[in-house]
Amino acid sequence: MAFRAILPLVEAAESGAFTLPPAITSALAVERRAAQFASQAYTTRVRAQEHGTGIDEIATEVLDALARGAEPGSDVEQRLEDAERDRRLADLRSEVATAAQRRAVDRADTVVAGLADEIVHEHLAPALAETIEAAKKLVGIVSKFGGDVDDSGHVVRHGDAKLIAAVRELDGLVTRYNAIRRARQHLLAVLGQPAFDSDGSFAEFQRAVEAYGAAWNVRHQTREREWPAGPRARLLWIAEHAERVKPWVPTPAEQDAELAAHLRATGPQLITRGGESGIGQATPWYWQPPFNTDPAPERRRPALVVR
């Protein structure tokens, strides 16, 4: 179910990485209460099945009476009927609780599906903007470390208390940034996958070409990156170049639209492994979106890229 698929998103929101619409948190609270009620009802049912509801006590009284040479009490039959009734009620209570839990999950799924775009635009996107702005304030403080900012030992050896505190704050921002990215990925279970940008070129940066360079559309093959590899240095790079690369949290439709706009604007181009240097061997390559869904049919012509 979609709601089950984005439970990590809910957990990240509860940790403070971002917020969620009140309707979702309310649906989650109802689902949890329904789950607790179902668990309690199931436990009661199991106990009734294993030990009976009062049957053990009645059996003990009957045995004691027989041991004294007396007849069991005249109320045994009535008490047995009451015990059987309680056992049936325990079964029914458990069945009702289980059905209620399923409906709570279904209702939560519906709420999440209806608010998916709102989660992206009004919750994840503002959280990303806050994270980037906070990281910008740290660029000047920890820039002295350069690529060594991800070497904690180097930071401790060569940084003062202020620098070390800044790096710790940066670690919190890295955690938040990654949580936002993972949340968006989990949310695709509700939103659906992009129809055209199947490689996710525009998933993180609105200006993917600026971020990935001339080989942007074969980045998954070349593995060429402008930014550092370490998580701290990478977030600092994103913050420093945010105006140029435009980090964002798009819906799949927005992601596809950005790719289509770029293709319409540029058309087929010669792209090489060597980037702007033009070094590399070019081979024909075709960009072919799904049938009858080409966002830029006038651009469906051979392009050249490097393998």
276 occurs within a structural domain: yes
CA atoms within 13 A on the CB side of 122: 8
Q: What pLDDT, on a 0 to 100 scale, did the predictor assign at position 171?
A: 93
Residue 4 confidence (pLDDT):
67
Query: 303-306 and 282-285: which strand pairing?
Result: antiparallel
Going by the DSSP 8-state scheme, the letter that residue 170 receives in this structure is H
Is 174 domain-assigned? no
93 and 45 Cβ atoms separated by less than 8 Å? yes
Q: What is the pLDDT of residue 68?
A: 84
**Tokens standing for residue 79:** 């008490």
Along the 307 residues of the chain, how does pLDDT read in single tens digits? 555 667 788 888 888 999 999 998 898 889 889 999 999 999 988 887 776 667 778 888 888 888 888 887 778 888 778 878 888 899 999 999 999 999 998 888 888 888 999 999 999 999 999 999 999 999 888 877 766 777 777 777 777 788 888 889 999 999 999 999 999 998 898 889 999 888 888 999 999 888 877 666 555 455 556 677 789 889 999 999 999 999 999 999 999 999 888 888 776 554 444 444 444 444 434 344 443 444 444 433 333 333 3
Residue 130 domain-assigned?
A: no
Kindly state whether residue 289 falls inside one of the protein's structural domains.
yes
What is the rounded CA–CA span in Å between residue 126 and residue 104? 29
pTM: 0.70
Which domain does 241 fall in, by range? Answer: 193-226+237-307
Residue 246 lies in a domain: yes
- Is residue 291 in some structural domain? yes
Is 267 among the domain residues? yes
The pLDDT, as a whole number, for residue 177 is 96
**What phi and psi, each to the nearest 5 degrees, are found at residue 283?**
-135, 150
CA–CA separation, 275 vs 82, rounded Å?
83
Half-sphere CA count of 162, side-chain side, radius 13 A: 5
| pLDDT computed for residue 69 by the predictor | 82
Contact predicate 151/228, CB 8 Å: no
Q: Does residue 213 lie within any of the structural domains?
A: yes
Q: 3-class SS at 123?
A: helix
From the list 207, 194, 200, 221, the residue with the least C-alpha distance to 305 is 221
Structure tokens at 28: 């989650």
pLDDT at 214: 63
233, two tokens: 């240095």
Structure tokens at 36: 């607790």
- In sequence order, which residues have a C-beta less than 8 Å from that of residue 294 and are 6 or more positions away? 300
Spatial separation of the C-alpha atoms in residues 3 and 12, rounded to whole Å: 14
Length of the chain: 307
Q: What is the pLDDT of residue 304?
A: 35
Distance CA 208, CA 38 (A): 48
DSSP 10-51: HHHHHTTSS---HHHHHHHHHHHHHHHHHHHHHHHHHHHHHH
- What is the total count of domains within the chain? 1
